[in-house]
Amino acid sequence: MVNEDEVISKVFLAIDKTKGNISTFKKSISDGEYTKIQQPSTFSRLLIWKSILILDTLKVTAWESKLNDSRIIFHQLIMRDDLNIPWHELDEDSLYYQSHDIKRKSSINRKSSLRGTKSLKQKSQREHVSEDPLGNLTSQLQNHSLENENVELLQTIILDIERLFPGDSFFNDSTNPNLLYIKKQLIEILYVWCKCNESIGYKQGFHEILGLIYKNIYLESINFDISDPRNSKYSNDELAVLSLYNKNFICHDLFIIFNKFMLSSGILSNFFETEAKLTKSIELFNIYLMKIDQFVYYTLTTKLKLDTQLWIIRYLRLILSRELGNDMELTNLLWDKLISSQSTESKELSNKLPELIMFITIILLIQQKMDIVTCDFSECLSLLLHYPIAHFKSSSKRDSYIQNLFKDAQRLYEKRNDDLKLYEYGNKLNIKYNPSLKISMNYHRNSGELSDTSNNNSARSSIDSITSMKKQQTPPKKVNDRNEQMKFEKTRLEMRLKKKAQSLMQNN
């Protein structure tokens, strides 16, 4: 069980180390200083996610008002009649069935008070009854249709929550007396959020994102009652810290965290909002892949004719949580850094997190390049859908892996507007992750085709040429001279422009 005094000590130590500066705190997370091997004296994932996504400050004196302002939002929402969850419409044998006369929102602690806020009053509204019986009938049919939609939404969310992380005991331990309570809270948060964002609705993957955040916040939260006389020993700053960790407001805080994480990061708008925007994101990924590693790009798209949409949607929408394996801590460490990289200062940075995810995905492909270029279609698709993440025997190696992965992705992001720099850094990544695999890409002026030359000292010494490539017997020329690099880049860009021009002519 988490001790109140330990929580207070840990938070103040973390604040002192970063001199109370939220920007310094974010940088320490990105650079691995704060998260490195999860320093037990100061590390708190709850502090990372709540301070960045709710508070946006490490000044404890400002926490109380900011927490109240954010928590009252969810409090007001759950009091609205149009957001009342239709538990009573479920089948009576459902674990989640609740008769209509039972007090609504039973899984949310109604005894908790919001410090510094006034009590909210329900305003009753009288509905105007039309004298036209046909008009009244139309209204009844519309209400009935809406009720059916609400029940379908609730049932869909329940179905996903019931199969959430099947290998994780936190969500599947039938002996845990709080298990139903935990799942019901997740359902309520998702239902209310989806009703507030009806233009988007509920999408597959929301439950996994919320579930992972929920678990981390729940495990660090504490049962704290501010009205308990024993808590008078704490100062106002200490009470603010304990309020931040208060388990009674886990739904309020999770709603805000999920909303901010999805909206301000660009994840929702780029990967979930519309199919057109998702397609645009996939096209951008393909462009980046082609610039960074042409051979992987042509192997996937030309040799294997493997449509990127067949495998990448899950990578993007679930923020690589499945690709990092069953060790959920790998995902947690990566998300810490992704969250710390967020910025709301400029609209220009709203796509940073989605593009970081794309660059991380490209690095993961380069790490498995040996298998990708030697697989057939089905083998490659299976590899991409079941990414073979390494098992790390120590926490230090696991932390180091994520740190290097994120650092490389950041460098690619910084070079995203310079094709040559992306190409050069792609070569560095290949030397780093595939030192025994030597591949050069050559352009035949006469035929207008690309060809590859490969040399590998491992067991897999030969790689099938892709459809538009020819094997060559001569060893690859090393492009050491910058003029040669520029010449190569110019040729590649000319090819891209020629292809684009042909495509436009065909469309016209």
Confidence bin at 445 (pLDDT 50/70/90): very low
Residue 113 has pLDDT above 90, yes or no: no
CA 200/CA 148 separation, integer angstroms: 18
- 3-class DSSP string for 327-371: CHHHHHHHHHHHHHCCCCCCHHHCCHHHHHHHHHHHHHHHHCHHH
CA 148/CA 422 separation, integer angstroms: 51
Instruction: Report the candidate in 150, 259, 260, 144 with the shortest Cα–Cα distance to residue 195.
Output: 150
Q: Where is average pLDDT lowest: 131-140, 174-183, 244-253, 467-476? A: 467-476
- The whole-number pLDDT of residue 326 equals 78
Residue 243 has pLDDT above 70, yes or no: yes
Instruction: Report the candidate in 345, 294, 325, 331 with the shortest Cα–Cα distance to residue 452.
Output: 294
Residue with tokens 């009720």: 147
CA 275/CA 141 separation, integer angstroms: 31
* Higher-pLDDT residue of 116, 160: 160
- The whole-number pLDDT of residue 501 equals 53
* Higher-pLDDT residue of 368, 499: 368
- The whole-number pLDDT of residue 209 equals 97
Tell me the pLDDT tens digit for each residue of 327-380. 899 999 999 999 998 765 544 446 799 999 999 999 999 999 999 999 999 999
Q: Which helix (H) or strand (E) holds 251?
A: helix 250-263
The total number of residues shown for the chain amounts to: 508
Tokens for 450, please give them. 């690309």
Distance between terminal CA atoms of the chain? 68
Residues contacting residue 171 through CB under 8 Å, at least 6 positions apart? 164, 165, 179, 182, 183, 211, 215
Residue 500 has pLDDT above 80, yes or no: no
Tell me the pLDDT tens digit for each residue of 187-234. 999 999 999 999 999 999 999 999 999 999 999 999 988 888 878 899
CA 406/CA 324 separation, integer angstroms: 13
- Return phi, psi of residue 459, to 5°: -60, -35
Confidence bin at 485 (pLDDT 50/70/90): low
- 3-class DSSP string for 443-485: ECCCCCCEEEEEEECCCCCCCCCCCCCCECCCCCCCCCCHHHH
- The whole-number pLDDT of residue 441 equals 55
Tokens for 485, please give them. 């690099």
CA 209/CA 184 separation, integer angstroms: 16
Number of other residues whose CB lies within 10 A of the CB of residue 268: 20
- The whole-number pLDDT of residue 25 equals 95
With beta carbons less than 8 A apart as the criterion, state whether 330 and 400 touch.
no
Tell me the pLDDT tens digit for each residue of 295-326. 999 999 999 999 999 999 999 999 999 999 77
Tell me the pLDDT tens digit for each residue of 17-39. 999 999 999 999 999 999 876 67
CA 153/CA 207 separation, integer angstroms: 13
Domains of the chain: 4-109+143-263 (no CATH), 275-432 (1.10.472.80)
- The whole-number pLDDT of residue 38 equals 66
- The whole-number pLDDT of residue 129 equals 40
With beta carbons less than 8 A apart as the criterion, state whether 193 and 74 touch.
no
- The whole-number pLDDT of residue 146 equals 75
Tell me the pLDDT tens digit for each residue of 254-293. 999 999 999 888 999 999 999 999 999 999 999 999 999 9
Mean pLDDT (the chain) is 83
Dihedral over Cα of 180, 184, 185, 190: its sign: positive
Residue with tokens 């490539």: 469
- 3-class DSSP string for 73-137: HHHHHHCCHHHCCCHHHCCCCCCCCCCCCCCCCCCCCCCCCCCCCCCCCCCCCCCCCCCCHHHHH
- Structure pTM? 0.81
Residues contacting residue 46 through CB under 8 Å, at least 6 positions apart? 216, 217, 220, 221, 244, 245
**Are β-strands 437-443 and 450-456 bridged in parallel, bridged antiparallel, or unpaired?**
antiparallel
Residue 14 has pLDDT above 70, yes or no: yes
Tell me the pLDDT tens digit for each residue of 53-111. 999 999 999 999 999 999 999 999 999 999 999 999 999 999 999 987 665 544 555 44
Instruction: Report the candidate in 204, 215, 207 with the shortest Cα–Cα distance to residue 190.
Output: 207
CA 9/CA 13 separation, integer angstroms: 6
